[in-house]
Chains A and B, each alone.
Chain A
C-alpha cells in the first residue's frame, strides 16, 4: 500500500469513479481551470474536459440546486462547495430539496448527488470561514452525512458516496488534506453509515470523527505511555449514525469521552451521549464527557483560535479524570 495524503486519496477516488462512469461530472467554483481551491481536482480539467469538470459562477444555490436537478434527471453530479460555510446560502437546496425529493413524491425521484465541501477551524480564517456545523446537516432525514478522518476511509467512503443513489454531504476537514495514511491502489468501498474502531483499547472509549480522530489518536498514544489503553471509535458517518461499535466498546470500557470540533450545544456529542444513556445506561460507570469547541465565534488571532478548539491535552485531561486512580 502507498502512503499518500488525504488530498491524493480523495482525488484518486474522484478520478477513478469518473473514469468508470461517464454520468459522473464535477461542478463548482474553481474546480476546473484553477484546479480546485484545495487542489483536489488538479489535472481533471485537462483530462476530462470542460463538459465534465464545470466551473460555475459564485452561485451556491445554483450549484447545489443544479446538482439536484441533474441527479433526478439521471446524471451523477459531484458538486463542490468551496467551504461548508458557504453551504448556508445553499441551505434550501441541501435540506429542503436534496434531502426530501425522494420521499416527498412517493419515491419517484432519486437524488444520486454528492456535495463535497471543506470544514473546520485552525487556519486563522476568522469567524465566518472556520465553522464545523456538521451536526446541523445531520439533523435532516433523507441526507447522508459523511466526514472521514483518514485517507483510507476518505477514498473508500467517497466512492461509496458517488455510487449511492442518495444525496450525500461529504465533509473534508481542510487541515487534514496533508494528513498521510496507507491507501490501496485501485478500487475498494467503505460502507456509508458505519462506524469503525480505529484503535483497540480496554480502559476508556473515545468517540470522534474527522479532524478530532487525529487529535484523539495522538492523545491515545500519550495515554498509552501512562498505561491507559483507549479504544477509539470513528463515527465516519453522522447520518445514519452507527452506534453499534460505540455501545460494544462501552460495554467493555464503561467510560466514554466524545470529541467533536464543532460547538457542543445541540451537537454530535449531545446526540451520542443521549444514545449511550438510552441504550447502555447500565454499563456506564461515570458521566460521559464531551469535548467541543468553546461557544464563541472563532477569532482570527492564532492563540485565541487555538484556545477555542479542542486540543490533544484536553482529551488526555478528560480521560485522566474518567479512569479510576489516575484522575
Chain B
C-alpha cells in the first residue's frame, strides 16, 4: 500500500464511525425510524475486507450494513438520506437502515432476515461460475446466523459446486442479547467450515492490518478456483444490538475493556508508529470527516420525501396491471 491507501482506510473507518454517531443522534431526535443497528466497534472488519476486493467481486451482508455501504462506495449523503427515508437515498427511501444497496458498486444489500442472504450469495456465485467470470462473492454475516438452517444449506451446496464464495463470519459474540456460548455448540465459528469440507481461519477483527492479510489470503484461495473459504473475524460491537437495547446481557466493564482497544485506536497507533502519518494528519482527517458528515446530514434533511405515487412503483418490473 502507498501512503494514500493507508490514509484512505483510516478515512473510511472514521467516516463510518461519525456517520453512525450522527445517525444515533438523529434516531434519538425521531428523524430516523424503524431499527438502527450500529456497526461501531467493527469498522476494521468491513474496511479491511472491502479494501482487498476487486471491483468485480460481489458483496452482500446482513442488516448491520451502513459500514459496508460506505466501504463499497455509497456516499455518506445517500446513506444518510436512506436513513431519513428520503427519495435521494440509495434505496429511494424504500429500504431504510437494514436494506441499503447499490448494485452499480457491486454491493447487493443489506438483508434483514438472519441468514437468508447466504443462499442468495450462493446463487450469485453460481452466476459467476456459470458465466466463467473471475469474481468472488463475499458474503458477510454475524455468528448468530451460523445457527440457522440457511447457513448450512448454503455452505453445503456452495462447496458441492465449488463456487467462488468467501464466507465472512463477523463474530461480535452476541446474537442480540444471547452470547455465542449460549447459542452455538462450538464457539469458534470457523470450526463449522470443517463439516462442509472447506478451509477456514480466524482473525483478530479489531486489527485492520490482520484482517486485510487474512482476507487477501482467503480471496486468493477462492479466486484460484478451489472453492469456498470461511473467514471468521473476532470482533465486538460497542453499542447495543439496536438503539432499543437495554444491554442486560453484558457488563459495562466488558464493553469498556473492548473500547479501550478499539479498531480506530489500534490503526491510529500503527500509522504513527510506522511513520505513515502523524497524529496531526489524522486529527485533520477527523475534522474533515466531521464536515463531510455535517454535509451529509444537511443533504439528507433537505432532500425531498419520496413522491406519494412512488408507493406503487417498482413492485413489478414490467407493466403488469396489478389493479385488474
Q: Which residues of B contact A61 (CB under 8 A)?
A: 116, 119, 149-150, 153-154
Give CA–CA (A166, B317) in the complex, Å.
6
How many residues on B have C-beta within 8 angstroms of the other chain's C-beta atoms? Answer: 48
Q: Is the CB of A105 within 8 A of B119?
A: no
Q: Is the CB of A59 within 8 A of B156?
A: yes
Q: Find the residue from A64, A68, A110 having the highest chain B CB count within 10 A.
A: A68
Q: Which residues of A contact B113 (CB under 8 A)?
A: 92, 96-97
Q: Is the CB of A142 within 8 A of B153?
A: no
Q: Is the CB of A72 within 8 A of B91?
A: no
CB distance from A92 to the nearest CB of B (A): 5
CB distance from B68 to the nearest CB of A (A): 14
Q: Does B188 contact A (CB under 8 A)?
A: no
CB distance from A31 to the nearest CB of B (A): 14
Q: Is the CB of A240 within 8 A of B124?
A: no
CB distance from A245 to the nearest CB of B (A): 10
Given the known inter-chain contacts A66-B157, A72-B120, A105-B94, please indicate yes or no for A25 contacting B130, CB distance below 8 A: yes
- The listed residue (B101, B116, B131) touching A65 by CB distance below 8 A is B116
Against A, the Cβ 8 Å flags (1 = close, 0 = not) of B119-130 are 111111111101
Give CA–CA (A242, B324) in the complex, Å.
5
Q: Is the CB of B124 within 8 A of A70?
A: yes
- The listed residue (B108, B124, B157) touching A59 by CB distance below 8 A is B157
Give CA–CA (A8, B118) in the complex, Å.
35
Q: Is the CB of A75 within 8 A of B315?
A: no
Given the known inter-chain contacts A57-B157, A193-B321, please indicate yes or no for A108 contacting B119, CB distance below 8 A: no
Q: Is the CB of A104 within 8 A of B118?
A: no
Q: Is the CB of B315 within 8 A of A66?
A: no
Give CA–CA (A69, B58) in the complex, Å.
11
Give CA–CA (A166, B318) in the complex, Å.
8
CB distance from B189 to the nearest CB of A (A): 19
Q: Does A71 contact B (CB under 8 A)?
A: yes
Q: Does B320 contact A (CB under 8 A)?
A: yes
Against B, the Cβ 8 Å flags (1 = close, 0 = not) of A51-83 are 100001101011011111111111101000000
CB distance from B88 to the nearest CB of A (A): 11
CB distance from A183 to the nearest CB of B (A): 25
Given the known inter-chain contacts A65-B123, A67-B123, A68-B120, please indicate yes or no for A105 contacting B153, CB distance below 8 A: no
Q: Does A102 contact B (CB under 8 A)?
A: yes
Q: Is the CB of B313 within 8 A of A65?
A: no
Q: Is the CB of B316 within 8 A of A105?
A: no
Q: Which residues of A contact B95 (CB under 8 A)?
A: 104-106
Q: Does B110 contact A (CB under 8 A)?
A: yes
Q: Does B205 contact A (CB under 8 A)?
A: no
Against A, the Cβ 8 Å flags (1 = close, 0 = not) of B76-116 are 00000000000001111111000101110000111001001
CB distance from A115 to the nearest CB of B (A): 13
Give CA–CA (A105, B110) in the complex, Å.
9
Q: Which residues of A contact B99 (CB under 8 A)?
A: 104-105
Q: Is the CB of A106 within 8 A of B314?
A: yes
Give CA–CA (A153, B92) in the complex, Å.
38
Q: Is the CB of B116 within 8 A of A62?
A: no
Q: Does A192 contact B (CB under 8 A)?
A: yes
Q: Does B322 contact A (CB under 8 A)?
A: yes
Chain A's closest residue to B310 (CB) is A106
Against A, the Cβ 8 Å flags (1 = close, 0 = not) of B173-215 are 0000000000000000000000000000000000000000000
- The listed residue (A25, A69, A106) touching B121 by CB distance below 8 A is A69
Q: Which residues of B contact A186 (CB under 8 A)?
A: none
Given the known inter-chain contacts A56-B157, A166-B318, please indicate yes or no for A106 contacting B130, CB distance below 8 A: no
Given the known inter-chain contacts A69-B121, A97-B116, please indicate yes or no for A193 contacting B93, CB distance below 8 A: no
Q: Is the CB of A97 within 8 A of B120?
A: yes
Q: Which residues of B contact A166 (CB under 8 A)?
A: 316-318, 320
Q: Does A103 contact B (CB under 8 A)?
A: yes
Give CA–CA (A269, B283) in the complex, Å.
68
Q: Which residues of A contact B120 (CB under 8 A)?
A: 65-66, 68-69, 72, 93, 97
Given the known inter-chain contacts A69-B122, A105-B91, A109-B103, please indicate yes or no for A165 contacting B317, CB distance below 8 A: yes
Give CA–CA (A74, B106) in the complex, Å.
13
Give CA–CA (A65, B93) in the complex, Å.
25
Q: Is the CB of B119 within 8 A of A106?
A: no
- The listed residue (A51, A72, A104, A192) touching B124 by CB distance below 8 A is A72
Q: Does A164 contact B (CB under 8 A)?
A: yes
- The listed residue (A62, A96, A243, A244) touching B154 by CB distance below 8 A is A62
CB distance from B85 to the nearest CB of A (A): 12
Q: Is the CB of A108 within 8 A of B102?
A: yes
Given the known inter-chain contacts A92-B113, A105-B101, A165-B317, please indicate yes or no for A66 contacting B122, CB distance below 8 A: yes
Q: Which residues of B contact A238 (CB under 8 A)?
A: none
Q: Is the CB of A70 within 8 A of B153?
A: no
Chain B's closest residue to A244 (CB) is B324
Q: Which residues of B contact A66 (CB under 8 A)?
A: 119-120, 122-123, 126, 154, 157
CB distance from A116 to the nearest CB of B (A): 17
Give CA–CA (A139, B52) in the complex, Å.
43
Q: Is the CB of A103 within 8 A of B123?
A: no
CB distance from B211 to the nearest CB of A (A): 25
Q: Does A309 contact B (CB under 8 A)?
A: no
Q: Which residues of B contact A97 (CB under 8 A)?
A: 113, 116, 120
Give CA–CA (A147, B150) in the complex, Å.
28
Q: Does B160 contact A (CB under 8 A)?
A: yes
Within A92-121, which residues are at the interface with B (CB < 8 Å)? 92-93, 96-97, 102-110
Chain A's closest residue to B100 (CB) is A105
Interchain residue pairs with CB less than 8 A apart (8): A62-B119, A62-B122, A73-B58, A74-B131, A104-B91, A105-B99, A165-B317, A193-B321
Spell out B's residues near A (CB within 8 Å): 58, 89-95, 99, 101-103, 108-110, 113, 116, 118-128, 130-131, 149-150, 153-154, 156-157, 160, 313-318, 320-324
**12 additional A-B residue pairs with CB within 8 Å, beyond A56-B157, A75-B127, A105-B94:** A61-B116, A61-B119, A65-B153, A69-B126, A70-B126, A74-B131, A92-B150, A93-B119, A103-B94, A105-B103, A166-B316, A240-B321
